[in-house]
Structures are given as C-alpha cells and as structure tokens.
Amino acid sequence: MAQINGRLVLSADVVMPLIGAWHARASVGHNEVISGAVEFDLERQALSGTVTRSGLNSGRLELAIVGGAGGLSTEVKAKHYNAPTAGQVLADLMRLSGETLATSVAAGLLGTDLPSWHRPAAPVSHCLTLLTDELGVNWRVLGDGTIWIGEETWPEESAAHTLIDESWTDGVLTVAMAPPVLRPGVTFRGQRIEQVTHWLASGELRTEAQLTSPRGLLDRFLAPLRRRIDYSRLYPARVAAQNANQTLQLVPDDDVIKGAGLDRVQMRFGIPGIVKATVTPGTRCQLGFAAGDPSRPFACNFEMGSVLEISIESPAVALGANTAAAIPLNPGSASQPTPSVRFSPT
C-alpha cells in the first residue's frame, strides 16, 4: 500500500536520477487539497518531498512532488567568493534554498579549498551542479529529502526481487521489488544503475533500472545555465579599485554575473614579464574565466590611457646592473600623471 500524508495513492511514478532531485507524480483518491511538505510512503519506503503542483482530475487529486524542501528552483543572486571552502559555498546555497545537506557528506569534501569561486545568478540546482562539476563529484536528493554530495562508489545492491524483463542492450531492467529499495549510484545484477523509476499502477509496483550516461545527464542539466552563463566568453566590466597585491576589484556590466562584484581578480596584459601595473578606478576592461572555470577569473583588454604604469622584468633591456628606465605610454596632463613603462633588470 502506498500513501501520501496518510491518504491512499492509486497510481504513481517516482523518478530518481543519478544527478539532481527525485520527482514524482501521484494520483490520490480524494478531493482534499494537499500542499507543502509531504511524506510519501511507497510500499514501506519513506520519501520526503514537497508538492509543486496539484489539481483535481475526474474526482482524483493529481500531485507533482519534488524531493526535498522545494527550494532547489530558488533563484539566487550572483556572488563572488575569495578562497572559500566548498562547505562555505554549499552552506550559503542551503541557507538560501531552505534545503538540508545530508549528514553523510564527507568532511574532507566540505573542507576542499577553492582559490576563488563565482556563483552566477541562477537557480540553486544549477549552482550546485556547477560547483560539484568543479569538484569532480555528483549531487542528488536522497529519499529522506536531504542533499548528498560525493564521489560515486557503486556499492552492491542485493535486495530480493523478481526479474520481470532484462534488456541491458537497451539499458533497461524491470523488476518487482518490495520494498522498492533500489536507488541510483549502486551496482545491481552486475550493472551500474544511474536512474531508477518506481511506478505503481493497478495495485502493482514495478521498478525500472536504467543505464544512462552521467555525462549526458549532467550536460542536459547544465545546458540551460550554460546558455545564460557562458564562462568561455569575455564580459565588459569596470575597475572599482586596485588591491595592494596588484589584483583588482571588478564590477561587471551584466546583472547575471554582476552580484556585488568580484575581488582579487588577476590582471593579464598579454606581455611576458609584467610584474606590476597601476590601473585607475573606473577603467573599462573585460572579465574572463581561464578555461571556462568559475574559480579562475582574470581581467584583460584594458582601455587605452587607463593604465598609469607597468613594470617589466627583462634581461634583454640594455640597462646597468642597478638601473631602471621609465618610458611614457601616453602624454599626461595636469590632472592625469604621465603613464610609463618601467623596465627592471633581473
């Protein structure tokens, strides 16, 4: 028997992917509205989720349910982190979404240091996927509604079952299993299971195991975000300030990536040997991400006349052992110092 908040379920299907949140559709035999958090008892397997849609259909209540607290679709603002841990970025996402991180997430993973991280303006689910993609791990919502993050270990699942149909050439296996304990991320009958669907109809419960490429799943999941946030392109930006360590504080023009701006952004001039550069606030430039990686921002393509001075180390410059030279970049004025290049022999 299957129930949602103690009410009999007439039919249902529950889809559990390797990456992301499980989701379900269910038909309940009464016309009383169910909303918010629900406990879905699927033949003695407890699932905790949230109703996302509901409505009456021919005297039955039809429900759409997503695993967890229902906050994964929450749109968050862009934010830049300087040298955070993965746990700090995740804690922010959990707080903003109202979701809960699973206690089984490894402490070592949460303590992973990131040199820099840029969170785009996007749904929490997409921000999670970008972060876990960077860490080389997966994430999904467990049956209890918490969010697990980690590396797949593919443990063996040997629960009792009756084989209904086996067609691994098509990547699908169907069994009868009560209770339906099969989940993605396990090895079952010698195969790695990457998606599981439990469906209930006419009083019969069946479980379908599927072999689906995790790379394909991830690419499909990320596709809408990659259309919105393309980390391989350059974004127009303004220099807000220059830090003592020569890095910049940037404010991008695009609201999708802007947030409160980016700090500690390295400069790139395309000239070997540059060890120092002085850039005036308000300078226009472009923001990029090395190799399309949100953790590696850089500034380049500075507008003409905005760089006051650059210092270059070069053994090829014909200067004395302890001398340096300054070469004007552009004529200065009473209000603007003359920009220069300083060569420092190595």
Q: What is the mean pLDDT of the chain?
A: 85
Q: How does pLDDT run across 32-57, given as a tens digit for each residue?
A: 888 999 999 998 899 999 999 998 88
40 closest CA partner among 31, 30, 28, 53: 28
Q: What type of residue is 179?
A: P
What is the per-residue pLDDT for 117?
A: 93
Burial class (CB in 10 A: 0-12, 13-18, 19+), 278: middle
What is the per-residue pLDDT for 341?
A: 53
Q: How does pLDDT run across 89-131, given as a tens digit for each residue?
A: 999 999 999 999 999 999 999 999 998 999 988 899 999 999 9
What is the per-residue pLDDT for 217?
A: 52
For range 232-256, the mean pLDDT:
90
Residue 65 β-bridge partners: 24, 51
Determine contact, residues 120/258, Cβ cutoff 8 Å.
Answer: no
Determine contact, residues 21/42, Cβ cutoff 8 Å.
Answer: no
What is the per-residue pLDDT for 59?
A: 77
Q: How does pLDDT run across 124-144, given as a tens digit for each residue?
A: 999 999 999 899 999 999 999
Does the pLDDT of residue 213 top 60, yes or no? no
Report d(CA 295, CA 134) in Å as an integer: 9
* pLDDT-wise least confident of 171-180, 190-199, 269-278: 269-278
For range 206-222, the mean pLDDT:
67
How many CB atoms are closer than 10 A to CB 303? 12
Report d(CA 98, CA 178) in Å as an integer: 32
Determine contact, residues 29/8, Cβ cutoff 8 Å.
Answer: yes
313 closest CA partner among 270, 268, 272: 272
* Alpha-helical runs (H) found in the chain: 86-97, 107-110, 124-135, 214-228, 255-258
Does the pLDDT of residue 185 top 50, yes or no? yes
Predicted confidence band of residue 324 (pLDDT cuts 50, 70, 90): very low
For range 210-238, the mean pLDDT:
67
This prediction has a pTM of 0.69
Predicted confidence band of residue 4 (pLDDT cuts 50, 70, 90): very high
Residue 235 β-bridge partners: 287
- Give the residue with greater pLDDT, 305 vs 321: 305
What is the per-residue pLDDT for 212?
A: 66
Does the pLDDT of residue 310 top 90, yes or no? no
Burial class (CB in 10 A: 0-12, 13-18, 19+), 329: middle
- Give the residue with greater pLDDT, 257 vs 239: 239
Predicted confidence band of residue 314 (pLDDT cuts 50, 70, 90): low
For range 305-317, the mean pLDDT:
66
Domain residue ranges in the chain:
2-67, 235-344
